[in-house]
Amino acid sequence: MSDLLFNLFAIFTVACALGVVFNKNAVASAMCLLLCLVGVAGLFVLLDAFLLAVLLVFVYAGAVVALFLFIVMLLDMQGGERKKFTKSTIASSIAAAGLLIAGVVTFATKGYIESADPATVPVVGNNLRAYAEQLFTVYLLPVQIVGFLLLIAMLGVIVLSKKFEGLDDIK
């Protein structure tokens, strides 16, 4: 039964993630992001990580997606004509594709991810205090990096949706 639920949540999450990427309407894309985060929360529930599932739904699905929707609706983004690719866009796309291919090849050649013996790893999921201690000591830098990336994404949404007047005079 758990394998069936995992497959259903995984397919649902991937389908919603594809909806985020390929949807032309920004509001519909944000709603697909909300559903994708709910699917990931379902996967967390299957792993018995109820706290992570609730935090994901409250923080990301509740606050971040609502903030993105608020920004998109406030700035009245309209899907207009697409801009032409520039040399820097093409170069950054090639660099990103190269990094993706290097990561896939590295994972495929190594074949596995080394992990510790489960009997020696301390259990920190049952105790909220131990979880918070791990989060704010060992995993503090990754949490701050994710927060910074979310801030950059929010600023990117604002900059991309801002309508500049008089650009023809500058060129």
pLDDT, tens only, 78-122: 656 667 778 888 898 899 999 989 888 887 787 665 666 767 766
Q: Supply the pLDDT for residue 76.
A: 65
Q: What percent of the chain has pLDDT over 70?
A: 81
Where is pLDDT greater, at 135 or 75? 135
pLDDT reading at 160 higher than 80: no
- CA 130 to mean position of chain CA atoms: 26
For CA atoms 25, 31, 37, 40, give the dihedral sign.
negative
Where is pLDDT greater, at 1 or 44? 44
pTM over 0.85: no
Whole-angstrom Cα Rg for the chain: 20
